[in-house]
Structure 1
Amino acid sequence: MTEDVPVIARPQDELLSIGVFAARARLSPKALRLYDRLGLLEPAHVDEVSGYRYYREDQIEQARTVALLRRLDMPLADIAGMVRLDGERAARSLDVYWAGIEERFAEQRTLAHYLRGRLSGRNAELYATFEVKTVDVPRTHVLSETRHVVAGELPSWIGSSAERLEKAAERCGGMPGPHFVVYHAEVTEESDGPAESCVPVADAEAARAWAAGQGRSSDAKVRLEPAQRLVYTRITKAQVGYPQIIAAYDAVEAWAAERGLTVTGPCREVYFADWESSGPEDEVCDVALPVAVG
């Protein structure tokens, strides 16, 4: 009587070949090989001799998820991080990614509207979409930080400088007004200002002591901001980005010029709302110019 020899099933007998798996997952073999190299979707088995890749049937859902995320134009590096998360964390990661996409779309839509007006020569119609007003602001001491920055560096610096100055203001009697940024020269991709980030403080002496304690390497200083009249227009978060914010500045300048007002100082942006919690269409900023009174 001969002893039965057990038959060992080969992995490829149990698994799906790359061609079959690609068809089931609605992906190309080329895409699967790329996803393998990037760690997005590793095969369940690779034949040591032939190098053929084999996949489990339960990997089809993951493969389709990767393909769908690519339809959202999500970078492969972001997908690689997301597929390693559990369901809830992956969903939250997708929410963060898509919020960024919607914010960029809102900015681009605003910029396209502005460019349409410029290209068609209907600038006056474009400016009419901005409601321009005036406001008188009292003199106040400000704690400030000045930096040479180009347009691409500006958002990060504005946020970080505001955080530093606002924390300092808490130790200087608080903030009697919102954070604002003064542009002492043009800031574009080619021109670096400088720009000055300012936070009003209630206790000027405490602010001077704080600034002095930061040492020579610090940009912080205390100065008096004079009482003045501002011509301004209120804009949304989507309108703040460069270069679409130029439309707001153009509208304010045109409004002042039509009324014969004399500009007395550099332009500024006054940030009165919490940036992080605001959506693309929420009003967050006043674009303003100081003008002579009377």
Structure 2
Amino acid sequence: MRSIGEMARDSGLGVSALRFYDRAGVLVPAWVDPVSGYRWYEPEQLEEARLLARLRRAGMPLADIRLVLASWSGADTDLVRKLLTAHLRRLERSLSDARGEFSTLRALLDHRENVMTSLHSTTVRLSVAAPELAAALDTVRFAASTDPELPMLGGVLFDIEGESLHAVATDRYRMALAQAAVAGHDGSRVQVLVPTPLADAMRALLESEGPVRLSVDGGRVTLEAGDRQAAGQCLDHAFPDYRRLLPQVAGRRTVVEVAAFRNALETGPVRFGQDGAHDLSVLRVEDGGTVTICTDADEDPNRVAVNREFLLDALTAGARDRLILEFGTPTAPIAIRRPGDEGTFSILMPVRLED
């Protein structure tokens, strides 16, 4: 006799599966200990268990498996063949149906991508104050991705709607958003993904105080400042729906003096990230609203770990003497905002600490 553990090991069926098939009347043990309830199987039942495992992996219904097992060792092999053939036909029909559904899904996805691509075919002409656009680019540039595996993040999104241009950049670990007022636009929403080198070239032209002209024609975007211009092709990728990622006002908000906070970060304790390539700063908000840099001995459950370099970049991009830090749970993003300018901010993803 084989114990249920031995049967599970040799058949490929788990102990819990063998118990289930016993209760379902599909593979009943030869003997059950009346005191312990332990199941025992005859040696020849191992072949049935292995057959059962194969049929279940093939997705055959239990009702048909009962018939196959009942006929397997007998003379009625024709019934077994008929059951196997019928199940194979069901699988083929199911696969055909699945292919049809996936074909429909691909068509829907293509339609969505075409709709997003069609935004690039719109002709746009507008003007924007050079200092405002320069400040917007300075605020978000640090968050643009440099990962060649993520080309859709390798630029700055210009999201134009109404009388505003939102500049957005993200590398998945941080995101920055800033806005500038525009004039001459009809109000419809147009999104243009400007490659990072072109965004940098545009920024180099924004040294004047007056307005500059931004135009989009098909997949080409042009910035004109006086008699100079920077122009190039937009990235032909769909940028993530950043509006779904915008942070809500967190439960803990505190104002930091940027110079003092920067010094605390640069001179305070650090922990190493799991990859060993990044320094982490572990932050804690005191009851009075002061943000402190935690030491290794500090086990406060509300502490939040962030990439120190990313946080320093965000402080620089904030370009203010004082900034607002918003903290949620230890696993929620940290938001860095400017006082009085809620539409310009950056967020940093926290880093999980390994104790």
Provide the TM-score with structure 2 as the length reference: 0.29
Higher helix share: 1
Question: Which structure ranks higher in relative contact order (CA pairs < 8 Å, sequence separation ≥ 6)?
Answer: 1
The structure with the largest alpha-carbon Rg is 2
Higher strand share: 2
Provide the TM-score with structure 1 as the length reference: 0.34
